Amino acid sequence: MDEETANYIEVQQGGRHLMDSNQFEYRVTKKRPNKTYYQCIQRKNNSCPAGAVVNNENDKIISFLGEHTHDSDLLKKRVREIEKQAVKESSGNIAISPRTVLGNMTNMVSTLTNEGVSAMRKSNTLVQAVKRARVEHFGFTKVPNSWNDMSVPQHLETTIRGDRFLAINEHLGDENSERIIIFCSSEQQNVLKSATYWVADGTFVVVKNTLFYQLFIITAVTATGITVPCCFALLPNKETSSYQRVFQYLKDANVTPPGSLKTDF
């Protein structure tokens, strides 16, 4: 093997560790007049048998012993850079879900080496990193603890095309009472008008940590069979009056209902 110059890094415990060109780190195990023997610092955690021998006279690594059983710090560093860049680039684009960002990130990392994906942080950790970056980018406030503190961020009031998206934001009673918030653009209203039938359903998981009880969605099914989510209503309950408010909004907007409506309740 070609000898490489030994590089060292200071460690918090005192002393220094050997770092090879592949960013594997070693600690001293034995010193001899002409040679110093090192073992991988992951010997205990990953049962790594790898080691290195340094010539004390010219401070060169003259041999490596065994194979590493884990990724090098160099690979981890490159993976972290990809993760960081992907999170940064996605922070301003809420049209892409965090899970999609994670998938794209995984594809980029996999091009490095087969072991690259195993060096990534946990999926949930990366998803949360994307969410935090978006909160910081858009200046989202924390989830409110009271209905009176509930507000819709300004950038969510319109679509990316500049169309009005926030349709209804009202209390059911006084200003401290529950709210109904409905999102539906004029473009989505037109899709609803031309649909052959609608599908209505509520989802609960996405609002479980908020004051709302459910996100009620009306999806239009076009003549060509394409389904398009068109109306999104954040509802505080499952009362008949809340559903009536949603359909009253559509009626007031002159959205003519189709011949049929499918729902599971």
The percent of residues above 70 in pLDDT, for the chain, comes to 98
- Angle between helix axes 73-90 and 98-110 (nearest 10 degrees) is 140
Average pLDDT over residues 77-96: 89
pLDDT, residue 209, reads: 87
Which of residues 27 and 113 earns the better pLDDT score? 27
The distance between the two most distant Cα atoms of the chain, rounded to a whole number of Å, is 92
Instruction: Say yes or no to pLDDT of 114 above 70.
Output: no
The token duo for 5 is 């110059």
**CB of 200 closer than 8 Å to CB of 222:** no
Averaged pLDDT score across all residues of the chain = 90
| Most confident among 124-128, 225-229, 232-236 (mean pLDDT) | 232-236
How far does Cα 220 stand from its chain's mean position? 28
Write down the pLDDT at residue 101.
93
CB atoms within 10 A of CB 91: 19
Domains, the chain: 4-65 (2.20.25.240), 73-138 (no CATH), 147-263 (no CATH)
Q: How is residue 203 written in tokens?
A: 């989802």
Is pLDDT above 80 for 265? no
Is residue 182 within 8 Å of residue 232, measured between CB atoms? yes
What is the spatial distance between Cα 142 and Cα 97, in angstroms, rounded to a whole number?
A: 19
To the nearest 10°, report the CA torsion of 103, 109, 110, 113.
-170
Contact 159, 146 (CB under 8 A): no
Q: Which of 46-55, 77-86, 176-185 has the lowest mean pLDDT?
A: 77-86
Q: Are strands 197-203 and 214-221 parallel, antiparallel or unpaired?
A: antiparallel
**98-115 in b/e burial notation, b at 16+ Cβ within 10 A?**
beebbeebbeebeeeeee
Q: Which of 190, 173, 258, 245 is nearest to 216 (CA)?
A: 245
Residue type for position 251: K
* Tokens describing residue 146: 């009271």
Tell me the C-alpha distance between 124 and 164, whole Å: 33
**DSSP one-letter code for 207:** G
Whether the predicted pLDDT of 109 surpasses 90: no
Contact (CB, 8 A) for 191 and 199: no
Helices within the chain (DSSP H only): 73-90, 98-110, 123-138, 186-194, 240-252
- The CA-atom distances, in angstroms, between 205 and each of 42, 52, 54, 197, 219 are 41, 53, 58, 26, 18
If DSSP states are collapsed to H, E and C, what string results for 219-231?
EEECCCCCEEEEE
